[in-house]
Amino acid sequence: MLWTGLGVTLLDVVLAVVIASGRTASQRRSYRLGRTGRRAVAEILSAEQTGVRVNDQPLLVLKVRIQGADVTPFDDERRVVISDLHLPLLYAGPVPVLVDPEVREWEFDWDAARPGLAVRATAAPAPDERTRADRLAELDSLLQRDLVSREEYDAARARILGEI
């Protein structure tokens, strides 16, 4: 019984170290791209659902073409977890990305992506038939269930209240 307990504990520690190192590498890449990455846009060639959800957000297989003023265009395919709030941006037109063209490493620049801009450039958005109160109630529900961050909540709430 003692050896089984020690084995399970050791397995837990190894798993925690692997997860932490992967997360640290991801944060290091994001920091580096934020400081030295070049701005470009990603044209979404295809987006396929995998049927897997991570933290209640879909894992997609994206095929993209990345291009920019000082970036040689290239295609890439990647599995990416995308927030439900960012999903509409994938279908609205080119999405801003930060790129390291030397190693062809990239990530979405969600801070630079503004939901209304790309949609207005391609087509007029469909009017929302719900009342502002209903939309605010739904937004409150999403925040309570931790499906949106506080920043996303504040931005969406300000946008809804700005329509008054």
pLDDT single digits (tens) 97-139: 999 878 888 988 887 776 544 433 333 344 556 788 888 888 8
Amino acid 122: pLDDT? 35
Phi-psi region of 94 (alpha: psi -120 to 50; beta: other; left: phi over 0): beta
- The position carrying tokens 């390291």 is 100
The boundaries of the domain holding residue 10 are 1-36
d(CA 41, CA 120): 17
d(CA 159, CA 107): 26
**Do 94 and 111 share a structural domain?**
yes
| Residue 108 backbone phi and psi in degrees, to 5 | -65, 140
How many residues does the structure list for the chain?
Answer: 164
The whole-chain average pLDDT of the chain stands at 82
**Do 121 and 44 share a structural domain?**
yes
d(CA 164, CA 44): 34
pLDDT value at 79 more than 50: yes
**Do 161 and 114 share a structural domain?**
no
pLDDT in tens, 22-67: 778 777 877 778 778 888 999 999 989 888 888 888 999 999 999 9
**Do 107 and 121 share a structural domain?**
yes
Instruction: Report in angstroms the alpha-carbon separations of 164 from 59, 131, 132, 134, 138.
Output: 36, 11, 9, 14, 17
Amino acid 32: pLDDT? 79
Q: How many domains does the chain have?
A: 3
**Do 115 and 94 share a structural domain?**
yes
Amino acid at 107: E
**Do 80 and 29 share a structural domain?**
no
Tell me 147's DSSP state: S
**Do 78 and 9 share a structural domain?**
no
